C-alpha cells in the first residue's frame, strides 16, 4: 500500500494539494475523486510521513486531506485507513494530530446512524483513549478538534457507552482522567463535560447520574487558583444557556456555591462578578425549575443585594455586573416579582442606579436592568406583575424621582432621552415597558418633550436605534388608544395625532415626503 514519490512528484503533489486546499467554496465528491485518482491516498499519507522535513509540505497536505475527508467520497475511504488515523492521533506533529481528530469526526458524521460500523472501528483501533490524550496533552487546536470528535461520538448509542463507561474504575472514565491531569487538563475535561451536556437531555442526565457535575462544583469551591475558578465559571455561563440545563442543575448545590462566592469579599472581584452573571443567566428564564427551590434563589438575590448595599467595597465592573445580574433575573415574571418582594427589595438598587447619572456605565446597566424588570423583553400578557410587585415598582420609581433633581418620573424619562444614543436606546426600552402601566402612561403624556423625541424620525441614525424608537412609539400609541380617559381628553389630541402619524411612517422613513433628487448634472460648456 505504501508508495514513494520522487522530489519532482512531491513538488507536483504539493502544488495540486495547495490548489485543492485553497479552492474557494466547497469541494464536491467529483473534485475529490479526480484529485485522488491523480494522487492516491496511500501515496499522500506516505509522503506526509516520510517527507515532513520539506518546508510547507506538512501544512499543505494536512489542509488538503482535511478538505478531502469532509467530502462524502473522501469520508468513505477513512475506514480503510484507520491505521493512519491511529498513528496520526499519536504523532509528534500537532498539525497531524489535529487532522487525525478531525478525521474521526468526518468518519462519524458520514456514518449511517443505524450502522455501528464507525463506532466499532473506534473500538477496534482504540481511538477513544487516544482522543482523550489529545484532549489533555495537545495544543489548543488539537484539544478543540478532539472535543468535537468525542461530542459526535457521544451522539451514537454505542458511542455513549464508550464515553461514559459503566465502571468508575475505567481509566477512560472522565472522573479518573480529571484526577490525573494538570490544572489545564482538568479545565479541558470540564469543558468536554459541558460540551457533552449540550448533546441532549438524555446525555445530560447520564452526566448528572455519573456525578460528573461535582467536578465543576469542586473547582468552583477551590479558591486557590483564580484562573481555574474563572475558567470554570465561564464554562458554567455557557452551560446554563443550554435548553435542558436548568432542570438538571436545579438538583445540584450550584446556587449555594455561587452565592458563597458572591458573598466572599476576600475573593477577587472578577470571580464575584462572573458568579453574579452565571446566577443572572441561570435565573432569567420563565418557569425555571430553580424557582421551585425559592429559598436557594433568595440566597442568591440576598448575596447580590448585600454586595450592592456595601457598594463602597465594589469596583465599577463588579457594580455593573451586579446590576446586570439583577436585570437578568428580572427578565422572568417570577424573577421580577422576587426582586420586588420583601420590605427592602433588591430592585431598589436597579431603580436608584437608573436615576444616578454619576457613573455612566452604572446608569446604563441599571437602565437596561430596569427595562427587563418592567417587562420590555417579556410577552405582552406578562408585562404586568402581581399587585404587590407593581405597587412596589411604582413606589420605588416615585421615591427615586422625588430624591432626584427631576422630581417626577416624566422628568427622568426626558433626561434619559436627551442623553447620547446608547443611553437613549435604554430609555426607549424603558418607555416601551412602562407605558403598559396607566400611571406611567399619564406621566409620559404629560411631557410633550418625550413624545417629540419618540416620534422624531430623524433623531436616530442606526438601524437598532430606529427600531427601538419605533417599538417605543408603537407601544405608546397602543397604550394611548386603549385608554378611554386619554382618548377623551381634547388637550391630548395633538399627542394622539403625532403618535398615529409616527406609527404610520414606520421605523426607517425619515421624511414625510421623500422626493427624488437629480443624480446627473448638465455638462459644462466652454
We report the CATH number of the domain holding residue 9 as: 1.25.10.10
In a domain, 31, yes or no: yes
Q: Quick check: 326 and 304 in contact, CB under 8 A?
A: yes
In a domain, 54, yes or no: yes
In a domain, 62, yes or no: yes
**Which pLDDT band, with edges at 50, 70 and 90, does 513 fall under?**
very low
pLDDT (average), residues 452-459: 90
Q: What pLDDT is attached to residue 508?
A: 84
In a domain, 290, yes or no: no
Domain around 72: 1-163
Q: Quick check: 465 and 457 in contact, CB under 8 A?
A: no
**Which pLDDT band, with edges at 50, 70 and 90, does 521 fall under?**
low
For residue 491, is pLDDT > 70?
A: yes
- Per residue in 37-85, pLDDT (tens digit) is 999 999 999 888 887 778 888 999 999 999 999 999 999 999 999 999 9
Which triple of cell numbers denotes residue 399?
A: 421615591
Which triple of cell numbers denotes residue 393?
A: 415598582
How many structural domains are present in the chain?
Answer: 1
In a domain, 58, yes or no: yes
Nearest Cα to Cα of residue 311 among 349, 347, 277, 342: 349
Q: Which residue has the cell 478531502?
A: 68
Whole-angstrom Cα distance, residue 192 to residue 204?
Answer: 12
In a domain, 25, yes or no: yes
Q: Which residues of 435-474 are buried (b: 16+ CB within 10 A; e: fewer)?
A: bbbeebbebbbebeebbebbbebebbeeeebbebbbbbbb
- Per residue in 354-397, pLDDT (tens digit) is 998 777 889 999 999 999 999 999 998 899 999 999 999 999 99
Report how far apart, in Å, the C-alpha atoms of 518 and of each of 495, 515, 521 are: 36, 10, 7
In a domain, 515, yes or no: no
C-alpha dihedral sign at 287, 290, 295, 301: negative
**Which pLDDT band, with edges at 50, 70 and 90, does 207 fall under?**
very high
pLDDT (average), residues 107-121: 78
Q: How many CB atoms lie within 10 A of CB 299?
A: 18
- Per residue in 238-285, pLDDT (tens digit) is 999 998 888 898 888 888 999 999 998 888 889 999 999 999 999 988
Whole-angstrom Cα distance, residue 418 to residue 92?
Answer: 62
Whole-angstrom Cα distance, residue 104 to residue 145?
Answer: 9
Burial (CB < 10 A; 0-12, 13-18, 19+), residue 514, is exposed
DSSP state of 53: T
Q: What pLDDT is attached to residue 512?
A: 46
Q: Quick check: 401 and 412 in contact, CB under 8 A?
A: yes
Alpha helices in 250-293, H assignment, sequence order: 254-263, 269-282
In a domain, 21, yes or no: yes
Q: What pLDDT is attached to residue 129?
A: 96
Q: What is the pTM of this model?
A: 0.86
Amino acid at each position: 500500500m505504501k508508495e514513494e514519490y520522487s522530489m519532482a512528484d512531491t513538488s507536483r503533489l504539493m502544488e495540486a494539494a495547495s490548489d485543492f486546499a485553497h479552492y474557494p467554496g466547497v469541494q464536491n465528491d467529483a473534485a475529490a475523486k479526480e484529485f485522488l485518482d491523480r494522487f492516491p491516498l496511500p501515496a499522500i499519507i506516505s509522503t506526509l510521513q516520510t517527507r515532513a522535513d520539506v518546508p510547507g509540505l506538512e501544512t499543505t497536505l494536512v489542509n488538503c486531506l482535511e478538505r478531502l475527508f469532509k467530502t462524502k467520497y473522501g469520508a468513505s475511504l477513512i475506514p480503510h485507513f484507520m491505521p493512519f488515523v491511529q498513528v496520526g492521533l499519536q504523532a509528534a506533529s500537532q498539525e497531524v494530530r489535529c487532522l487525525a481528530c478531525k478525521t474521526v469526526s468526518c468518519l462519524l458524521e458520514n456514518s449511517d446512524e443505524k450502522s455501528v460500523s464507525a463506532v466499532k472501528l473506534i473500538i477496534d483501533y482504540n481511538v477513544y483513549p487516544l482522543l482523550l490524550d489529545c484532549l489533555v496533552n495537545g495544543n489548543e487546536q488539537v484539544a478543540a478538534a478532539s472535543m468535537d470528535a468525542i461530542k459526535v461520538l457521544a451522539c451514537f448509542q454505542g458511542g455513549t457507552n464508550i464515553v461514559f463507561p459503566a465502571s468508575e474504575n475505567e481509566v477512560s472514565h472522565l472522573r479518573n482522567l480529571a484526577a490525573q491531569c494538570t490544572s489545564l487538563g482538568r479545565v479541558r475535561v470540564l469543558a468536554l463535560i459541558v460540551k457533552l451536556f449540550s448533546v441532549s437531555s438524555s446525555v445530560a442526565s447520564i452526566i448528572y447520574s455519573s456525578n460528573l457535575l461535582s467536578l465543576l462544583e469542586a473547582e468552583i469551591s477551590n479558591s486557590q487558583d483564580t484562573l481555574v475558578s474563572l475558567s470554570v465559571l465561564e464554562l458554567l455561563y455557557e452551560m446554563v444557556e443550554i435548553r435542558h440545563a436548568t432542570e438538571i442543575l436545579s438538583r445540584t448545590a450550584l446556587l449555594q456555591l455561587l452565592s458563597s462566592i458572591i458573598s466572599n469579599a476576600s475573593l477577587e472581584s472578577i470571580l464575584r462578578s462572573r458568579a453574579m452573571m452565571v446566577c443572572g443567566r441561570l435565573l432569567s428564564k420563565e418557569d425555571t425549575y430553580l424557582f421551585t427551590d425559592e429559598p436557594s434563589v433568595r440566597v442568591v438575590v440576598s448575596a447580590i443585594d448585600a454586595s450592592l448595599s456595601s457598594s463602597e467595597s465594589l469596583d465599577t465592573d463588579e457594580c455593573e455586573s451586579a446590576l446586570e445580574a439583577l436585570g437578568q433575573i428580572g427578565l422572568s415574571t417570577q424573577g421580577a416579582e422576587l426582586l420586588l418582594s420583601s420590605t427592602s427589595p433588591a430592585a431598589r438598587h436597579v431603580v436608584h442606579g437608573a436615576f444616578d447619572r454619576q457613573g455612566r456605565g452604572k446608569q446604563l446597566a441599571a437602565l437596561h436592568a430596569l427595562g427587563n424588570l418592567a417587562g420590555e423583553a417579556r410577552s405582552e400578557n406578562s408585562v404586568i406583575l402581581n399587585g404587590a410587585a407593581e405597587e412596589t415598582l411604582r413606589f420605588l420609581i416615585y421615591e427615586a424621582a422625588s430624591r432626584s433633581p427631576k422630581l417626577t418620573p416624566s422628568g427622568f424619562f426626558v433626561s434619559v432621552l436627551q442623553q447620547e444614543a446608547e443611553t437613549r436606546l435604554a430609555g426607549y426600552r424603558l418607555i416601551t415597558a412602562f407605558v403598559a402601566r396607566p400611571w406611567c402612561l399619564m406621566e409620559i403624556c404629560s411631557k410633550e418633550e418625550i413624545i417629540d423625541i419618540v416620534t422624531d424620525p430623524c433623531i436616530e441614525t442606526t438601524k437598532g436605534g430606529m427600531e427601538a424608537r419605533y417599538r417605543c412609539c408603537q407601544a405608546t400609541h397602543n397604550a394611548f388608544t386603549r385608554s378611554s380617559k386619554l382618548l377623551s381628553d381634547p388637550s391630548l389630541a395633538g399627542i394622539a395625532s403625532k403618535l398615529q402619524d409616527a406609527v404610520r411612517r414606520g421605523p426607517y422613513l425619515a421624511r414625510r415626503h421623500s422626493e427624488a433628487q437629480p443624480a446627473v448634472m448638465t455638462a459644462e460648456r466652454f
